[in-house]
A and B are shown apart, each in its own frame.
Chain A
């Protein structure tokens, strides 16, 4: 017996006939269970729960019963309708869940078809490395200073104690600006920013500079005519080479790992005295492999120059060298990137091939 037939052919059921009521309930439950879709269930619902369904008619008939029979009949019909109501709800939920499941299956796609409508761009790795180094300095309480790239010779050389006749001034491979007496160069180092900062900000002073510098080097795997330096300058009372070493060690361990320390080695720069070359523990062998190609077995890799600020530099910049001492350091950002990533051909850094930057994320 199907619900559809029942709809066509309403059956009067007496509220006083328990068997008939029972039968109506059974009929309803069977119809609901037999409904294979939400549409069929809807039809079954109209037939067995709707206004003209046997139970509805039975319910309506209660009012006409004698008062003595009303209570029992009401109870019976109420229970029956409750049963039918619960059944339809259950079946409804079941069918809806089935439908939802089916739709989700039908809507599934191949998520491995990776689209490339508009790929993300990239920051240049060298810029990111400079940013990272600047952030480290800022985190230590330093500020970031800047200066021009076409610079006065006074800032690039004289203020930094590069005497006009000193061989060190010739060894810088400087780009000079015409005419010969222009007094302008392309800065060969970020150090002129030291002089600018001391003059503009006074002391005590803790500044770093991240910037591009120029040397007359032809482009090859290990040289670029333009490259990037991180410069640091601290001038305060009581600063020593130990503070220099402390700062460098912190930078090295933050950039290259906890066990990477620095080594100071006597050297010469006009703007520092005493001066040192700073070496980093070899990343590859950590100083444990005499055959290491990365460090030629020395266990150390050169990173940059540093030292205590020369008294002449302090004097030129109006700082009292008897009261204040300072330290300065400069290291290659491009080199730092190479150390960190194993990149080995400098040409890739400047050529701007978009595939180079694409290897990296936005955080170096």
Chain B
């Protein structure tokens, strides 16, 4: 909401010297946040000048500048002509111009000082409109006062700031959705009075007093809402007034157009400008109908199936049964109540007789219609936040007054005012509640005083106060609502600062700690943590080699995605992490190692409908269970991507490109960091290379995830370099599995005895399989096993490979003999032989 300060002064006694920033500072105290102050940015000497001499001086750069002397009266302190260089050419000697003198400041903090330029000392500037923050004056150069203000009686040295309206300021405030009444000057003026104690004059009071009562001669209006929403009548008050014989071609006067413009609305025509003006002044949206187009009485009813209306924005709209309509005789739709009028009954320049509608429409009805038709009109914005139902007659009166004053014409004696808005209900308030909720000691007098100040009627006869809110505060329903009023009018700055003393918490959860450990472990190994927005497309799933149908069955689709290309929630972190990899590479970072910990969708079965329920009600346990169950599972995954060198080249030697084994080792390190035994086997799962994909599992078989080299097709489809490697694992599985404390075992201190063994196996046999049987065959005295060499070639048969292991044995209670160790080694080899066909190489 833009609040022209000059307009505000009409309703509340803003101190004469208060500037826009001061008004904004006062309003923020009562909860109207400052969005900005417009205008009033020109400070210091800005005066009328008369051009005495003008010498064009061509420059080397092809431009011609004018060296001028300008009479600025006594404004420069000397009365001598001011020497000024000016680049514009749309003026001549003897013309009156606007001159800014040294010491002044123009919009944007542009400070003016005398400066040397083009061989002269230019002491100021002859101003153009845009330099002063004024709208384009069409001059194509500097302002010529004879053109801009032909009737102004000015002389050199006169202050040009008020002359050009540059002293006018508009304070833009943010109005929270509970304060519909502050979408009006009337409401903001009231709040300014609350904030400062300045005297407030409610403009509606005088107007209401002058508004004649409803009578038989009024235009017939029938309220026939047969389907109220949530029990509220769609229209509970309708005031209609008629002015006949108006000349709507009359121009809107400058003062009114200026106020509208400053308030952010474009002047359009007298009828529209007057209704907008009244809305801005009093917060009551109005609608004007051309009386000549009306056939019968105005009937307010819900729309019928199949009904249509061409609205003022020239759109033919199919109406919804919930839409509340203003109709001609009940048949023809004229307007969507409180949202937008129709074309047929529109007031035009040729209209002479106007019916002014000043009605009170239900917030829910207007909100839903406005949303459904995507028509967030100024009227709808006010109705859905709550309009004062008692302001309707005053608003109609102001509109009638202005139309007659500005367009001529006569007011009909007939006045319509039908309907009966419900009166606000009394709220019981324990006078100690404000102190108990806010933590400031307020006396009962304080509480009663504030509530009366904001317009409440307060009955103090009982133990509890009985408080009836004013008609313009439909947001006040409960005792805490009143507590906020007390707190904000007394000032939030009075609230002390006290640290509460919780009973003592249990620290981070195991899962929270695990996530930190995992992330820290990866960062320590050279990976950078990133995060991505979780939105993907079918195409991305296909590019990653997932089945698009199956992927969709695991996730949910966003109804209103930012990009129609990415309407799905991701089912793997890799699916969005690849974008980050690509971005880094495209920015010239060749060697990238990144990871992300984030949620993915893992829906199983049909998507359930999650119930909603009215606010303030505790749902039954089974309802709550159903709501929780309808939220799809969202496990936390870890994804890793490596591209380029994992060990860089440099003076120390060659680099080493990241390969599948790095990805596997990183996942293993995560398991190790959590003291988890994570087994590895070969797998073929997208998006990985079918021959370079490791699958990880817990000892009980629970799947942890995959790592390896990305499938060449995936790299190609996503525009990634070849041989990118990565991993995706379920961190929740690891969290769950690592929740038990490790049982400590004694550390053997006797000497280590080692024995090496080379085994020849079929190519298809994996190292993990061989290692597993060697371990079990060697028994508990085996402390460590390392695959220290692998070989394929002349020394072994085709289709075979050699795996060389170093077995290290140690006992807790003695030094092992070579004999013992050889026996254990032979057992291990025998076990490997029978399980995998391994033959010891000799």
Binding site for B on A (CB under 8 A): 113, 115-124, 126-127, 131, 134, 138, 140-144, 146, 148-155, 157-159, 161-168, 170-171, 175-184, 186, 199, 204, 206, 212, 216, 218, 224-226, 234, 236, 238-243, 245-247, 249-250, 261, 263-268, 270, 273-277, 291, 297-298, 308, 310-312, 315-318, 325, 350-355, 357-358, 362
Contacts and interface: CB of A to CB of B under 8 A. Distances in A.
A350 B610 contact: no
A325 B430 CA distance: 15
5 contacts: A138-B505, A184-B632, A242-B440, A266-B31, A352-B528
A121 B529 contact: yes
B500 A234 contact: yes
B630 A183 contact: yes
Nearest to B558: A175
B497 A325 contact: no
Given A161-B616, A226-B534, A121 B631 contact: no
Given A218-B562, A225-B533, A241-B439, A182 B488 contact: no
B268 to A, nearest CB: 26
Contact of A161 (B31, B487, B615, B628): B615
Contacts of B523: 120-123, 362
Contacts of A170: 367, 371
A149 B535 CA distance: 13
A205 B488 CA distance: 27
A353 B634 contact: no
A118 B230 CA distance: 66
B508 A183 contact: no
B511 to A, nearest CB: 8
Given A134-B508, A150-B631, A247 B500 contact: yes
Contacts of A354: 528, 530, 584, 589, 592, 594
Given A122-B523, A140-B502, A362-B520, A183 B589 contact: no
B711 to A, nearest CB: 23
B255 interface: no
B558 A117 contact: no
A243 B560 contact: no
A154 B610 contact: yes
B619 interface: yes
Contact of B509 (A144, A265, A268): A144
B481 interface: yes
B176 interface: yes
A239 B481 CA distance: 17
A181 to B, nearest CB: 6
B399 interface: no
A351 B583 contact: yes
B265 interface: no
A69 B595 CA distance: 91
Nearest to A309: B480
Interface string B489-532: 00011011111111111111100100010011011111111111
B555 to A, nearest CB: 9
Contacts of A353: 583-584, 587, 589
B610 A153 contact: yes
A241 B487 contact: yes
Nearest to B649: A117
Given A175-B559, A275-B484, 4 more contacts: A134-B508, A148-B599, A165-B368, A274-B488
B78 interface: no
A162 B487 contact: no
A127 B519 contact: yes
A278 B54 CA distance: 57
Given A124-B531, A265-B33, A325-B437, A142 B558 contact: no
B19 to A, nearest CB: 12
A311 B594 contact: no
| Complex A-B, nearest 5 residue pairs according to Cβ-Cβ distance, in ascending order | A266-B31, A242-B439, A240-B439, A183-B610, A352-B530
A177 B438 contact: no
B480 A311 contact: yes
A218 B529 CA distance: 23
A177 B648 contact: no
A70 to B, nearest CB: 54
A152 B630 contact: yes
B497 A242 contact: yes
Nearest to B595: A121
B303 interface: no
A45 to B, nearest CB: 39
Contacts of A181: 609
B483 interface: yes
A131 B512 CA distance: 10
Contacts, number: 316
A358 B523 CA distance: 11
Given A167-B385, A245-B495, A311-B478, A182 B609 contact: yes
A175 B560 contact: yes
B367 A177 contact: no
A184 B607 CA distance: 10
Given A117-B648, A161-B616, A246 B609 contact: no
A111 B503 CA distance: 54
Contact of A316 (B437, B502, B503, B616): B616
A352 B480 contact: no
B561 interface: yes
B438 A242 contact: yes
A120 B526 CA distance: 4
B558 A266 contact: no
A267 B559 contact: no
A266 to B, nearest CB: 3
Given A158-B613, A265-B492, A152 B364 contact: no
B646 interface: yes
A258 B535 CA distance: 41
Nearest to A196: B628
Interface string B151-182: 00000000000000000000000001111000
A127 B529 contact: yes
Given A181-B609, A216-B562, A267 B529 contact: no
B524 A121 contact: yes
Contacts of A308: 437, 480, 483
Interface string B546-584: 000000000011111110000001000000000010011
B593 interface: yes
B740 interface: no
A298 B524 contact: no
B34 to A, nearest CB: 7
B497 A246 contact: yes
B788 interface: no
B520 to A, nearest CB: 7
B499 A140 contact: yes
Nearest to A155: B627
A135 B632 CA distance: 29
B436 interface: yes
Q: Which of A141, A274, A350, A358 has the most CB of B within 10 A?
A: A274
Contact of A116 (B177, B363, B594, B650): B650
A224 B487 CA distance: 34
Contacts of B461: none
A225 B584 contact: no
Contacts of B364: 165
Given A118-B526, A143-B506, A184-B556, A168 B618 contact: no
A210 to B, nearest CB: 9
Contacts of A115: 650-652
A182 B611 CA distance: 8
Interface string B587-616: 101001111101101000001011111111
Given A144-B508, A249-B497, A274-B480, A241 B34 contact: no
B697 to A, nearest CB: 26
Contact of A142 (B505, B522, B532, B630): B505
B415 interface: no
A235 B310 CA distance: 53
A234 to B, nearest CB: 6
A245 B437 CA distance: 13
Q: Which of B25, B440, B512, B595 has the most CB of A within 10 A?
A: B512
